[in-house]
Chain A
Amino acid sequence: EIVLTQFPGTLSLSPGDRATLSCRASQSISNNFLAWYQQRPGQAPRLLIYGASSRAPGIPDTFSGSGSGTDFSLTIKRLDPEDFAVYLCQQYGSSPRTFGQGTKVEIK
């Protein structure tokens, strides 16, 4: 089973700041099948990025993903108030699919 470790656990930033979140896998992820999700309180996760760097339909270009193999990152270019949420990475290159524990982006 691939273990995903996200860091930092919490990111305290201000609106307009740039956010960089990291996700490290315990082994290489097949086909770079790594996704990022945003989860707001009481809501289901929303797909942002798939295949490590492709934006899902309807996701603004302020969100970008990069990385390959075992190290991946999500960048939010300029934080809008609605971007303060929990961000999760997930690998779907092998079974079982696994999720990271999440990074909470909070208002400083």
Chain B
Amino acid sequence: QLQLRQSGPRLVKPSETLSLTCIVTGGSINSYYWSWIRQPPGKPLEWIGYIYYNGSTTYGPSLKSRVTMSVDTSENQVSLKLSSVTAADTAVYYCARDCFFSVARQSYSCFGLDVWGQGTTVTVSS
């Protein structure tokens, strides 16, 4: 059964870089897009962006200038970095499995965000 296990610091100082990792177990990272989403306290979910297993990325507009996503296929994991954080970046951060892309058929299969990590509560504070 596919599971996503998140790890990373829960406390980050203002102006520093938030770094989180999402390890995929029970399945392969290959051929899928992997999304990052966050939920500030009392606010709706915000999609941060996604990364394809080959490293191709698409970022949402609000955080685009500060976000970097990467993939390590040998470790079956994806990572998120958010630079120059402020208190407004305090949130629960999630990774989730997104669409499947078949290179052979050149077609997408999308079923929503069907598997989620457990979430990481990150607080930005000095």
B118 within 8 A of partner (CB): yes
CB <8 Å contact, A90 and B111: no
Instruction: Please provide the chain B residues from 103 to 119 with a CB less than 8 Å away from any CB of chain A in the complex.
Output: 110-114, 116-119
How many chain A residues sit at the interface, stated as a range, is: 20 to 34
Stretch from B7-15, B40-48, B68-76 that touches the partner: B40-48
A90-B112, A90-B113, A92-B112 known; A44+B47 contact, CB < 8 A: no
CB <8 Å contact, A51 and B44: no
- Residue from A43, A46, A102 within 8 A of B44 (CB atoms): A102
- Which of B50, B94, B98, B113 has the most chain A CB atoms inside 10 A of its CB? B113
- Residue from B35, B44, B94, B114 within 8 A of A97 (CB atoms): B35
Q: What is the distance, in angstroms, from A3's C-beta to the closest C-beta of chain B?
A: 11
B55 within 8 A of partner (CB): no
- Residue from A1, A51, A97, A98 within 8 A of B111 (CB atoms): A51
CB <8 Å contact, A88 and B112: no
A35 within 8 A of partner (CB): yes
Q: For A33, what are the chain B residues with a Cβ–Cβ distance below 8 Å?
A: 110, 112
Instruction: Please provide the chain A residues from 34 to 56 with a CB less than 8 Å away from any CB of chain B in the complex.
Output: 35, 37, 43-47, 49-51, 54, 56
A1-B61, A50-B111, A51-B111 known; A99+B46 contact, CB < 8 A: yes
CB <8 Å contact, B44 and A100: yes
Q: For A56, what are the chain B residues with a Cβ–Cβ distance below 8 Å?
A: 111-112, 114
Q: For B47, what are the chain A residues with a Cβ–Cβ distance below 8 Å?
A: 96-99
A101 within 8 A of partner (CB): yes
Q: For B58, what are the chain A residues with a Cβ–Cβ distance below 8 Å?
A: 95-96
Q: For A99, what are the chain B residues with a Cβ–Cβ distance below 8 Å?
A: 37, 44-47
Residues of A that sit less than 8 Å from B by CB: 1, 31, 33, 35, 37, 43-47, 49-51, 54, 56, 88, 90, 92, 95-102
List 12 other contacts, CB 8 Å, given A50-B110, A98-B47, A99-B47.
A33-B112, A35-B113, A43-B119, A44-B116, A44-B117, A45-B94, A45-B113, A47-B111, A50-B114, A92-B110, A101-B44, A102-B44
Mind listing 10 A-B residue pairs with CB under 8 Å?
A35-B112, A43-B119, A44-B119, A47-B112, A51-B111, A90-B112, A92-B113, A96-B60, A97-B60, A99-B47
